[in-house]
């Protein structure tokens, strides 16, 4: 029997904003015995498919609606963050809407049910063979890994932090205090699958890794890959000097410190303690900073705070993002009625939230200038080592050109 054709899409298209994160129907490729699946990297609407699996972020929602008009909703199954939290938005634009994880995708496809269908979480392995691995970055950090490939794994399902700005909101709202840890046997098999491909860095993409009951066993297992390892930080209490030395001895390359800057933010002594240990043992510090600024020209408070963070933590690399009201958060509930369809495109963490283009430009340029000043500062020169794998000299030239435009 001839196989049917399935196309996989991400909205926004990954050619413009490379991100795939759970819950996503893209993590569950249909049965290869029955389906030929192809991931469409540039978002082109191919019309010869029998099935279209579409993972939709809020900022990609308008593009998805345009796509649905071209293809027709009958062949479309939508999933991802926005469908999981706002399934009603997909009535009339998708035949089925997966709420949550789509690890039972074959059962969903076979089902005669239409509309919203609650998906299931299972210990399925991601099938990376359908993705253009030369283009897809599963995780990226300020372009510090030029011409090198980073693969990622999860060790924990859920989110330990109830953030009002994070696209982890589905995981937190669903699991709350429940902790679902991937067993070592599953992770060992996942690493075998990864090793079929060439890659340079291994990213642990969940924030519960340091809570894992088999933490030390997993660190040793990951270390055996011989790859440079980087991860988010979770709760900090267990990160003692002994643990930091253990991580360094196990190929740990980088630790990411996350910040949500709102008015009244105060430096956290515990976080600074862990950063100091990372510097002591030669583990790179990466800052992931989300800025929630006021919609006016006087909100220099936030910029000053970012500057203080840089010179307190002395990171080897950093990313600066803007706060976003994701579905499932208190903020989105407040913003939703104010949003036109075009404004949905602003709901990603790359845009400052203001209707005024001049105000957005002001804040974006100011934050770029902060990065340039830090990277060119003498404090950073003391940290600079070309073993970090970065290309910051090229980044600085690019940032400088952006501020001149």
Q: Which CATH number fits domain 137-323+356-404: 3.40.190.170, 3.20.20.70, 3.40.50.300, 1.10.10.10?
A: 3.20.20.70
**b/e sequence 167-192, b meaning 16+ C-beta within 10 Å:** bbbbbbebbeeeeebbebebbeebbe
**Calpha distance 161→171 (Å, rounded):** 10
Q: What is the pLDDT of residue 365?
A: 78
Q: What is the pLDDT of residue 248?
A: 94
pLDDT of residue 320: 78
Residue 347: per-residue pLDDT? 78
pLDDT of residue 334: 76
pLDDT at 63: 93
pLDDT score of 313: 93
pLDDT at 19: 57
Domain ranges of the chain: 4-118, 137-323+356-404
Sign for the pseudo-dihedral over CA of 144, 145, 150, 155: negative
- Cβ atoms of 114 and 132 within 8 Å: the answer is no
Query: pLDDT under 50 in the chain at which residues?
Result: none
How confident is the model at residue 4, as a pLDDT? 95
pLDDT in tens, 28-52: 889 999 999 999 988 899 999 999 9
So what's the pLDDT on residue 341? 76
* H-state helical runs in 281-391: 300-313, 330-335, 357-375, 378-383
Query: Which pLDDT value is given to residue 131?
Result: 80
User: Distance between CA atoms of 311 and 115, rounded to whole angstroms?
Assistant: 51
Q: Which residues lie across from 180 on neighbouring strands?
A: 157
Contact residues for 3 (Cβ-Cβ < 8 A; gap 6+): 33, 34, 35, 36
Q: What confidence score (pLDDT) does residue 165 get?
A: 64
């Amino acid at each position: 029997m001839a196989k049917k054709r399935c196309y996989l899409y991400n909205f926004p298209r990954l050619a413009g904003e490379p991100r795939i994160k759970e819950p996503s129907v893209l993590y569950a490729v249909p049965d290869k015995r029955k389906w030929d699946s192809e991931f469409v990297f540039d978002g082109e609407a191919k019309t010869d498919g029998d099935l279209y699996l579409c993972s939709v972020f809020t900022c990609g929602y308008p593009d998805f609606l345009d796509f649905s008009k071209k293809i027709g909703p009958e062949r479309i199954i939508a999933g991802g963050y926005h469908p999981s939290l706002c399934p009603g938005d997909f009535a009339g634009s998708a035949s089925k809407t997966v709420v949550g994880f789509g690890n039972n995708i074959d059962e969903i496809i076979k089902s005669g049910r239409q509309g919203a269908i609650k998906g299931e979480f299972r210990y399925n392995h991601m099938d990376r063979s359908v993705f253009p691995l030369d283009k897809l970055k599963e995780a990226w950090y300020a372009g510090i890994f030029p011409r090198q490939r980073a693969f990622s794994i999860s060790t924990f399902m859920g989110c330990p932090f109830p953030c009002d700005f994070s696209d982890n909101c589905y995981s937190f709202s669903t699991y709350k205090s429940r902790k679902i840890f991937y067993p070592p046997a599953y992770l060992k098999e996942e690493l075998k699958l990864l090793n079929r491909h060439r890659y340079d860095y291994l990213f642990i993409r969940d924030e519960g890794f340091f809570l894992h009951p088999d933490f030390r066993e997993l660190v040793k297992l990951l270390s055996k890959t011989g790859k440079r390892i980087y991860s988010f930080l979770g709760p900090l209490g267990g990160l003692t000097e002994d643990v930091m030395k253990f991580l360094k001895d196990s190929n740990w390359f980088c630790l990411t410190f996350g910040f949500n800057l709102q008015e009244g933010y105060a430096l956290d002594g515990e976080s600074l303690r862990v950063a100091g240990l990372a510097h002591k043992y030669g583990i790179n510090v990466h800052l992931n900073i989300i800025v929630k600024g006021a919609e006016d020209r006087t909100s220099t408070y936030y910029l000053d705070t970012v500057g203080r963070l840089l010179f307190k933590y002395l990171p080897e690399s950093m990313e600066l993002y803007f706060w976003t009201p994701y579905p499932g958060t208190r903020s989105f509930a407040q913003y939703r009625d104010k949003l036109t369809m075009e404004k949905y495109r602003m709901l990603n963490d790359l845009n400052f939230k203001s209707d005024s283009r001049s105000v957005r430009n002001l804040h974006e340029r100011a934050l770029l200038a902060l990065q340039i000043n830090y990277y060119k500062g003498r404090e950073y020169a003391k940290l600079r080592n070309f073993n970090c794998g970065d290309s910051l000299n090229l980044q600085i030239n690019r940032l400088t050109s952006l501020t001149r435009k």
